Amino acid sequence: MSQPIVWVHGDCLSPDNPALQAYPDAPAIWVWDEALIEEWQLSLKRITFIYECLLELPVIIRRGNIAQEVVAFAQAHHADLVVTVASPSPRFDNICDEIEKSLKLEVLEVAPFFDYDGYIDLKRFSRYWKVAEKYVWE
C-alpha cells in the first residue's frame, strides 16, 4: 500500500481539490514557485490572494524549487507517492517529470469550471474571467 502526500499548486487552490478529497489524511504541500513569480511579475495583490487561499487549505507552505521541495517533503513523511491534479501550465509537465525521477506520481483530473477549447491568458485572472464569465453565466 502506498503512503501518499498531496502536492497542491496554483491551478487548484480549493478545498474541493480532488487530490485533497481523495487523500484527506495525507500531508499536503504548496511550494511558492519563485521562478514563475519573477517570470510573470506577479503583483503583491495576487500573491496575497494566493496566500489567503492557502490559509484555508491543510497545506505546509514552502518556497524554492518545486520538484525538489515536493520530493524532500515526501521523503520526510516516508511517502512513496505524490498525488496532485492536472494543470494546463507548460511548467507542470517538467515539474512532474522531475518528481517522477524519485517517486510515483498520480495526477487526478479536475472538473473544468467551464467548457472552452480556445486560448486563455492565465497570467491575469481578469483576462481569464473575461472569457469564463460568458460561459459560466449562460
User: Contacts from 107-114 at CB under 8 Å and sequence distance 24+?
Assistant: 108/18, 108/19, 108/22, 108/83, 108/84, 109/18, 109/85, 110/11, 110/12, 110/17, 110/18, 110/85, 110/86
Choices 3.30.110.30, 3.40.50.620, 3.30.360.10, 3.40.50.1980: CATH for 4-112: 3.40.50.620
Tens digit of pLDDT for each residue in 17-75?
A: 999 999 999 999 999 998 888 888 888 998 999 999 999 999 999 999 999 999 999 99
pTM attached to this predicted model: 0.84
